[in-house]
A and B are shown apart, each in its own frame.
Chain A
Amino acid sequence: MITSTCKNLTFATIEAGAGLKRALELGQAGIIREVTDSGIKGRGGAGFPSGVKWNLCAAAKDPQKYIVCNADEGEPGTFKDRIILTTYAGLVFEGMTIAAAAVNAPKGILYLRGEYTYLREQLEAELQALRDDGKLGENACGKKGFTFDIEIRMGSGAYVCGEETALIESLEGHRGEPRNRPPYPVNTGFDGHPTAVNNVETLAWISCILNKGSDWFRQHGTEKSTGLKLFSVSGDCDMPGVYELPLGITVDQLLAEVGGSNAKAVQIGGASGRCVPGSQFDRKIAYEDIPTGGSVIVFGPGRDMLDVAQNFLEFMVEESCGQCTPCRYGNPTLLEGVEMLRNGRCSAGYLKELVSLGESVQISSKCGLGQSSANAFLSIIEHFKEEIMGRTVDAV
């Protein structure tokens, strides 16, 4: 069916259920310690330490808690969660069950983007098999008093619903408009109850960590960015697909791996990420240098960087929820600016104003969408001025 190239994933070597079994032996505090010791940070983009999140959620005093798996994967250039859900969903459900044991939540919800509806039937079947096997439900996994089950809820075509508070709004039957934070979902989440929201990949890795130990995870990556990460690679390279690589890898190393060594630039982190020019290919992909949820788009020598800025801004204009002014008005104004640059009608003075507008949108927007919507535009202006300014109309 739908195949993406992906080789040698750790997930393929993991024995089903082993991590969960060990987790239940360790108990609440033990699980949280193991996850904290591993140093794993969220794989969904924001990079919040998962152990800290679970600790906060565990500490919340409310018998009704929720584990939400964020499968809204909508960042342009990202498809690793689709691969995980297609082939390794068991590890994700196991990770959710481990999370439930850690924070003491009786209910889990997988929020699956509407565009992935074709995955639903298979996922429901896998959940039913887990129920039949006693892994979900009352006294789950044979542990007396441990009740946990997972329900699948669908998105309906809105990128912003990947933002965790917008996701919760959507689950509650509202428009997917992000909330102010704090309060954070770990205190006030779904229907007002403490909720731990985690990315698909984060949960799958946590199953591996509980199985192989936090020391194993820490062997990979850097001090601040521990472990392995899946990268979704697309664009102008010989071998696009999903790659498992240690965090801390340089852009150069990654390009060599995927057959993209003649690239002129690479977009890391999707539409909300940054464009890295060739002169900076020695930088590290890691939370402390170039952070990412895993989207890598390679641009060959012939690509027009203004096309890139335009496409991403069009994306942001369409996907903005429109709730706050900087994002609602700022992004269309930046897009108009791109149009002026395209037509060679943008003065250096106005370009400066556009840059300062972009920076204002970053600092004054309510959620991560507006806070990062200008990133691509700003980094392209910064690194590709010679290509962008003084165009004659039919220049490429």
Chain B
Amino acid sequence: MTLMTQQERLRGELESLVAQYGTARNALMPILQEVQRKYYRIDDYAIQVIADLLDIHPVEVHSVVSFYSFLDFKPKGRFVVRLCQTLCCEMADKDRVARQLSNDLGIEFGQTTPDGKFTLEYANCIGMCDQGPALLVNDKVHTRVTPEMVNQIIESCRQVFGLHATQPMEH
């Protein structure tokens, strides 16, 4: 039995994504979005393989990844917390929520916890302006967030790690 390397596994996965979405250039975004979702990043190796499979230059892929704020070269945490920083949430006192998030996670905005579990970021308006302050944790939205609620939101994420503690991180 041969052991599959991480890279071989990633390549296999990319090949099946390309089989699903096709090799046309317009398949690029859905492919990148899937890779980001599964691996929390799009690394140089993934970029090279996707470029080969779509028959475009890796620089093209690189340039697309660099454009979108939800696509990243560097590994993101399993949970990406995005606090809205736009006017309505600002008026609803998002600064206090920001402070508490930073305190409870022990990191600044733009950083990822050393265990790779949480990334803390700002987002621009997420369409919850009547219910600010609003934040997203991955795809889940929380509204009217108060500093007291922050701890509970983070703890509910940590419980997920409890359940999957035996599964290795993928990156």
Interfacial residues, chain A to chain B (CB-CB below 8 A): 2, 4-5, 73-79, 81-82, 113-118, 153-159, 170-177, 190-191, 232-236, 240-242, 267, 271, 295, 297, 303, 307-308, 311-312, 314-315, 318-319, 321
Contact = CB atoms under 8 A, between A and B. Distances in A.
Contact of A297 (B27, B129, B139): B129
A79 B69 contact: no
A158 B69 contact: yes
A78 B25 contact: no
A156 B71 contact: yes
Contacts of A155: 68
Interface of chain A: mostly helix, strand, loop or mixed: mixed
Interface in B28-79: 28-30, 32-33, 63-64, 67-71
A232 B90 contact: no
A175 B129 contact: no
Interface stretch (B100-108, B110-118, B119-127, B163-171): B119-127
A77 B132 CA distance: 11
A235 B88 CA distance: 6
Nearest to B37: A117
7 contacts: A74-B124, A79-B130, A171-B29, A173-B26, A173-B27, A173-B28, A234-B129
Given A76-B86, A176-B68, 6 more contacts: A74-B124, A76-B88, A115-B126, A173-B28, A173-B64, A234-B132
Contacts of A117: 139
Contacts of B125: 74-78, 159, 315
B91 interface: yes
Contacts of A312: 87
Contacts of A116: 127
B60 to A, nearest CB: 8
B136 interface: yes
A153 B29 contact: yes
Interface of B: 24-30, 32-33, 63-64, 67-71, 85-88, 90-91, 123-132, 136, 139-141, 143
Contacts of A267: 87
A315 B129 CA distance: 15
B139 A2 contact: no
A172 B70 CA distance: 17
B63 A175 contact: yes
A190 to B, nearest CB: 8
Nearest to B36: A156
A234 B88 contact: yes
Contacts of B69: 156-158
B97 to A, nearest CB: 16
Contacts of A311: 85-87, 90
Contacts of A318: 124
Contacts of B140: 118
A319 B125 CA distance: 11
A102 B141 CA distance: 37
A232 B129 contact: yes
A158 B64 CA distance: 12
Contact of B143 (A2, A81, A113): A2
Nearest to A77: B129
B129 A157 contact: no
Contact of A2 (B28, B86, B141): B141
Contacts of B129: 76-79, 232, 234, 240, 295, 297
B139 A175 contact: no
Contacts of A174: 25, 64
A311 B68 CA distance: 21
A169 to B, nearest CB: 10
Nearest to B129: A234
A308 B87 contact: yes
Contacts of A159: 124-125
A154 B26 CA distance: 12
Contact of A157 (B24, B63, B70): B70
Given A115-B123, A153-B29, A175-B63, A232 B130 contact: yes
Contact of A315 (B30, B64, B71, B124): B124
A263 to B, nearest CB: 13
B170 to A, nearest CB: 20
A120 to B, nearest CB: 8
Contacts of B26: 171-173, 190-191
Contacts of A314: 85
B64 A234 contact: no
A319 B64 contact: no
Nearest first, the 3 closest Cβ-Cβ pairs linking A and B are A173-B28, A156-B68, A240-B130
